[in-house]
């Protein structure tokens, strides 16, 4: 998918630019963007290092394990058909916590393991591998896509870099919006779960 | 209302740092050493995304300077302007569904043109903090489960995304 999008952006851009006579601008655009990408990464190095350092403390001190335990009632509510001791619950919890804390690189591995476990669970239920998504998978994906992140770290970095007078002003509004869309997502999942 | 929001916003990060470090100390964790190990991992993550970011920002740069996005955005924007959604944000919402990094490139463009504290900049900041890359997440996750029929996932994902976009426009109006 990304192959296609990337090629599409370059090819459409250059073709459209040739058509409208913007080749000089496109040359500058390409070279400047490459430089900007590096500047941005330098800013990100500091913030990322701070955040992952703190998260490592939270993991090593058992804080993450404690938070995962606190999430148990929510997991039971969202995924009532997953047995109590099933591994899928742990992976789903870790993924949700990492999502809430905005740890992109911690979300994906846990999310992928959760999907594998949900697939195994469906096989145990029906006796063979299913090519259609289970209700749990749909709910898990929709929850993930509804966005659960509390502190939009990347966005704050970008805002700072482009001279915002109050880069963190968006934290509370973003939390409210995230809560709103997550509640809508939960209602939708619950309706579909009953319906099918 | 905005003052309360801003005050809460400014204490969240120090509060989280305080809580994590204090919790670590109480639980006899070597906070300093552990922090450094974690920070090292964070640096690796950033180094890992440098090539991706360059590739995508160049592609976005080419697409942007060609004027194609303005053309497409104007087309769709005429429709969305009528319902109160600023036209420059249309490409960002569309691109974010496919690629977070490509959308970041567009976000930076908006910050450069309109400023991060403008009405459009605020909507962008909030909206981008509250949406995910639908097609990317779906393809990667469903591949892990070897599932081809995604049933009601896409509809739910789109509903959640549009709920975020809608709420972002409303809340930015109060800021």
d(CA B104, CA B111): 10
Mutate to test the interface with B, among A181, A192, A194, A195 (most CBs of B within 10 A): A181
The predicted pLDDT at position B9 comes to: 57
pLDDT beneath 70, residues of chain A: 1-3, 5, 103-106, 109, 196
A187 CA to chain B: closest CA distance, Å? 10
pLDDT, one tens digit per residue, over B131-147 is: 988 877 787 788 778 78
The predicted pLDDT at position A178 comes to: 95
The predicted pLDDT at position A104 comes to: 64
A148 in Cβ contact with A99 (< 8 Å): yes
Hunting for tokens 């990337």 — which residue is that? A6
Hunting for tokens 């999430």 — which residue is that? A71
In this prediction the ipTM stands at: 0.72
User: Partners of B149 in the beta sheet?
Assistant: A132
The predicted pLDDT at position B1 comes to: 42
Q: Do B57 and A115 touch (CB under 8 A)?
A: no
A140 CA to chain B: closest CA distance, Å? 9
Q: Does B39 touch chain A (CB under 8 A)?
A: yes
The predicted pLDDT at position A135 comes to: 94
Of A38, A48, A131, the CB nearest to B147: A131
- Per-residue pLDDT band for B16 (boundaries 50, 70, 90) equals confident
The predicted pLDDT at position B98 comes to: 67
A82 in Cβ contact with B49 (< 8 Å): no
Of B12, B36, B59, the CB nearest to A171: B12
3-state SS assignment for residue B30:
coil
Proportion of chain B above pLDDT 90, given as a percent: 36
The predicted pLDDT at position A1 comes to: 47
d(CA B157, CA A178): 13
Closest A-chain CA to B95: A5
User: DSSP assignment, residue B174?
Assistant: T
Q: Does B104 touch chain A (CB under 8 A)?
A: yes
pLDDT, one tens digit per residue, over A57-75 is: 887 888 877 877 888 899 9
3-state secondary structure B115-173: CCCCHHHHHHHHHHHCCCCHHHHHHHHHHHCCCCECCCHHHHHHHHHHHHHHHHHHHHC
Q: Do A147 and B130 touch (CB under 8 A)?
A: yes
A73 CA to chain B: closest CA distance, Å? 23
Q: Taking the C-alpha atoms of B129, B168, B77 and B59 in order, what is their torsion angle to the nearest 10 degrees?
A: -10
Of B155, B151, B98, B170, residue with least CA distance to A177? B170
Q: Does B154 touch chain A (CB under 8 A)?
A: no
Of A1, A108, A188, the CB nearest to B159: A188
Q: Does A129 touch chain B (CB under 8 A)?
A: yes
**DSSP notation for B65-104:** HHTHHHHHHHHHHHHHHHTT--GGGHHHHHHHTT-HHHHH
Proportion of chain B above pLDDT 70, given as a percent: 87
Of A13, A51, A185, the CB nearest to B62: A13
Q: Does A100 touch chain B (CB under 8 A)?
A: no
pLDDT, one tens digit per residue, over B78-91 is: 888 888 888 888 88
d(CA B14, CA B2): 20
3-state secondary structure chain A: CHHHHHHHHHHHHHHHHHHHCCHHHHHHHHHHHHHHHHHHHHHHHHHHHHHHHHHHHHHHCCHHHHHHHHCHHHHHHHCCCCCCCCHHHHHHHHHHHHHHHCCHHHHHHHHHHHHHHHHHHHHHHHCCCCCECCHHHHHHHHHHHCCCCCCCHHHHHHHHHCCCCCHHHHHHHHHHHHHHHHHHHHHHHHHHHHHC
Contacts A152 to B, Cβ<8 Å: 125, 128-130
Of B16, B148, B160, the CB nearest to A145: B160
The predicted pLDDT at position B8 comes to: 60
Of B43, B71, B167, the CB nearest to A177: B167
Closest B-chain CA to A21: B66
A117 in Cβ contact with A88 (< 8 Å): yes
pLDDT, one tens digit per residue, over B28-71 is: 999 999 999 988 877 876 776 677 678 877 887 887 778 786 67
Q: Which stretch, A43-52, B11-20, B92-101, has highest mean pLDDT? A: B11-20
User: Partners of A132 in the beta sheet?
Assistant: B149
CA angle A37, A43, A45 (to 5 degrees): 100
Check whether B6 has a pLDDT greater than 60.
no
């Amino acid at each position: 998918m990304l192959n296609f999008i990337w090629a599409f952006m370059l090819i459409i851009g250059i073709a459209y630019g040739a058509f409208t006579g913007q080749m000089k601008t496109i040359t500058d655009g390409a070279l400047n963007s490459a430089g900007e990408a590096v500047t941005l990464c330098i800013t990100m190095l500091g913030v990322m290092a701070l955040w992952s350092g703190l998260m490592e403390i939270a993991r090593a001190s058992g804080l993450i394990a404690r938070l995962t335990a606190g999430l148990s009632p929510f997991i039971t509510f969202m995924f009532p058909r997953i047995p109590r001791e099933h591994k899928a619950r742990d992976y789903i919890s870790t993924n949700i916590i990492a999502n809430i804390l905005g740890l992109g690189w911690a979300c994906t591995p846990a999310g992928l393991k959760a999907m594998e476990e949900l697939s195994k669970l469906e096989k145990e239920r029906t006796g063979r591998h299913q090519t259609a998504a289970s209700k749990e998978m749909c709910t898990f994906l929709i929850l993930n896509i509804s966005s659960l992140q509390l502190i939009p770290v990347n966005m704050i970095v970008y805002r700072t870099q482009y001279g915002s007078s109050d880069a963190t002003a968006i934290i509370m509004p973003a939390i409210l919006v995230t809560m709103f869309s997550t509640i809508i997502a939960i209602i939708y999942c619950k309706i579909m779960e009953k319906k099918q | 209302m905005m003052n309360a929001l801003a005050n809460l916003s400014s204490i969240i990060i120090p509060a989280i740092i305080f809580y994590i470090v204090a919790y670590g100390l109480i639980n006899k964790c070597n906070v300093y050493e552990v922090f450094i190990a974690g920070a090292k991992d964070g640096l690796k993550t950033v180094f890992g995304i440098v090539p991706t970011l360059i590739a995508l920002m160049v592609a976005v740069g080419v697409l942007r300077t060609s004027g194609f996005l303005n053309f497409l955005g104007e087309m769709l924007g005429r429709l969305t302007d009528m319902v109160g959604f600023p036209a420059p944000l249309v490409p960002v919402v569309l691109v974010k569904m496919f690629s977070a990094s490509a959308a970041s490139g567009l976000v930076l463009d908006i910050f450069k043109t309109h400023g991060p504290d403008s009405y459009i900049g605020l909507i962008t900041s909030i909206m981008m903090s509250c949406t995910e890359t639908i097609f990317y997440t779906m393809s990667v996750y469903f591949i892990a489960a070897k599932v081809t029929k995604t049933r009601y996932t896409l509809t739910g994902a789109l509903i959640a995304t549009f709920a975020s976009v809608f709420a972002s426009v409303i809340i930015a109006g109060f800021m």
